[in-house]
Structure 1
Amino acid sequence: MAATQVIRSEWTKIRSVASTVWTLSLSVVVTIALGMLISALSKNEFDSMDARQRLNFDPTYISFAGMSLGQLAMIVFGVLVVSNEYSTGMIRVSLSAVPQRATFLFSKVAVATGLALVVGMATSFITFFLGQSMLGSLKASIGDPGVLRAVLGGGLYMALIAMFSMGVAAMLRSPMLSLGILMPFFFLISNILGNVGATKKIGRYLPDQAGSKIMQVVRPVDDDTPYGPWGGLGIMALWVVAALVGGYVLLKRRDA
């Protein structure tokens, strides 16, 4: 089967599965709503902040506060795109129709990533503008230094989260096992490693912590991270490549 036919087939699969559509929609709603809420609360608390907190105040990054929960839905989307066929048994039919496993996997990843990127970019711009409207006089402008990079980076970050989740799901095959590893990894382990002094230098190289640097405009005064915004996104991209390569190697070696 030609690559264009495989891509068209994967697009049809994604559109026809209600759960993938709902998870993307949830990602948009949660990210925007929480970003607006945190922005409004930050505006009300600004007058009570001390000098150090005001120096670290980053109106752009504050509007992306909802990304922490929005990425949860994006993780689910990435896992479901890959593992749905395993849980339903349709993977055997798919691999019979497309025996070239590289074509099969990377067509699926390309279609899902394209969709995640479009949704991520739209979400990033909307949450930025609505978040800034909540901040009032404290708001940043899209033309300010570093702001457009941060907004574009927010969309890229969401797409990379989905890609990483697809790679993990391709390795593990089971949706429950994939989510059972990814959820604690991003929402518990990463936070613990990043906030404990002894492991902080390790935590900063995890995909979510490194990648989220792209959304920062104001660098905290006590931040000694040895890489910048694009360096952090690059580290996240390396995690994504490793996950996808691992997924492909295991897909190629084992039976459906």
Structure 2
Amino acid sequence: MATTQVLKSEWTKIKSVQSTVWTLGLSAVVTIALGVLISLLAKNEFKKLSTEDKLTFDPTFVSFAGMSLGQLAMIVFGVLVVSNEYNTGMIRMSLAAVPQRGTFLFSKVTVASALALLVGMATSFISFFLGQAMLGDLKASIGDPGVLRAVIGGGLYMTLIAMISMGVAAMLRGPTLALGILMPFFFLLAPILGNVSATKKVGQYLPDQAGSKIMQVVPPLNGDVPYGPWGGLLIMALWAAAALLGGYVLLKKRDA
């Protein structure tokens, strides 16, 4: 089967499964809504902040506060895209139709990543503009130094979250096990390692901790991170590449 036909097939699979479409929509809604709410709260509480907090106040990053929760739905999307076929047993038919397993996985990841990128970019731009509207006099402009980079980076961040999830799902096959690892990793392990002084140097190289730097415009006063915004995104991209490579290697070696 030609690569273009495989791509069309993967697009048909994704759009025909309502759960994957809904999770993408939920990711956007949660991210935008929470970002608007936190931006409004930040404006109302700004006068109560300490001098140091006022100096490091980042209106752009505040509008992306919803991504911490919105990425949960993006993780579910990435897992479902890969694991649905294992759940239904369709994976056998898919691999029989496309015996080149690299082409099969590449096509699935390409289509799903393109969708994640489209939704992620739209979500990032909408979150920014609505968040700045809530911030009033504290707002940043899209033309300010570093702001456009941060907004575009927000969309790339969400896409890489989905790609990492797809790679892990390809390695583990089952959605329960994949989500059982990804959820604690992103919502428990990474924040703990990234905020505890004894493990902070390790935590800053975890994918979400490193990748989120792309969305920051105003760096912390005492920040000692050894990489910049694009360096952090590169670290996250390497995590995604490693996850997808692991998924490909295991898919190639084992039976469906």
What letter is aligned with 1:103?
A: T
Deviations 1:106-142 (A, max 9, x none): 0000000000000000000000000000000000000
1:148 aligns with 2:138: no
Deviations 1:156-204 (A, max 9, x none): 0000000000000000001000000000000000011011110010000
**In 2, Cα distance between equivalents of 1:246 and 1:227:** 26
Aligned to 1:35: 35
Instruction: Tell me by how many angstroms 1:215 deviates.
Output: 0.1
Aligned to 1:172: 172
**In 2, Cα distance between equivalents of 1:177 and 1:99:** 26
Q: What is the root-mean-square deviation of aligned Cα atoms in Å? A: 0.3
Aligned to 2:114: 114
**In 2, Cα distance between equivalents of 1:164 and 1:195:** 22
**In 2, Cα distance between equivalents of 1:153 and 1:105:** 25
SS of 2:222's partner is: coil
SS of 1:227's partner is: coil
TM superposition score normalised by structure 1: 1.00
Instruction: Tell me by how many angstroms 1:241 deviates.
Output: 0.4
Aligned to 2:213: 213
Instruction: Tell me by how many angstroms 1:103 deviates.
Output: 0.2
**In 1, Cα distance between equivalents of 2:159 and 2:206:** 16
Aligned to 2:193: 193
SS of 1:134's partner is: helix
1:242 aligns with 2:234: no
SS of 1:19's partner is: helix
**In 1, Cα distance between equivalents of 2:28 and 2:113:** 15
Aligned to 2:6: 6
Aligned to 2:63: 63
**In 1, Cα distance between equivalents of 2:98 and 2:63:** 43
Q: Paired residues, what number?
A: 256
Instruction: Tell me by how many angstroms 1:220 deviates.
Output: 0.6
**In 2, Cα distance between equivalents of 1:55 and 1:235:** 28
Unaligned segments of structure 2, at least 5 residues: none
Q: Structure 1 vs Structure 2: percent identity of aligned residues? A: 79
**In 1, Cα distance between equivalents of 2:176 and 2:159:** 21
SS of 1:252's partner is: helix
1:255 aligns with 2:252: no
What letter is aligned with 2:203?
A: G
Instruction: Tell me by how many angstroms 1:50 deviates.
Output: 1.1
Unaligned segments of structure 1, at least 5 residues: none
TM superposition score normalised by structure 2: 1.00
Aligned to 1:76: 76
**In 2, Cα distance between equivalents of 1:212 and 1:219:** 12
Aligned to 1:100: 100
What letter is aligned with 1:31?
A: T
SS of 1:233's partner is: helix
What letter is aligned with 1:85?
A: E
What letter is aligned with 2:182?
A: L
SS of 2:227's partner is: coil
Aligned to 2:131: 131
**In 2, Cα distance between equivalents of 1:37 and 1:222:** 28
Deviations 1:28-59 (A, max 9, x none): 00000000000000001111111100011000
Following TM superposition, where does structure 1 have runs of at least 4 consecutive aligned residues deviating by more than 4 angstroms?
Answer: none
Equivalent residues in 2 for 1:21-32 (5 A)? 21-32=21-32
Aligned to 2:50: 50
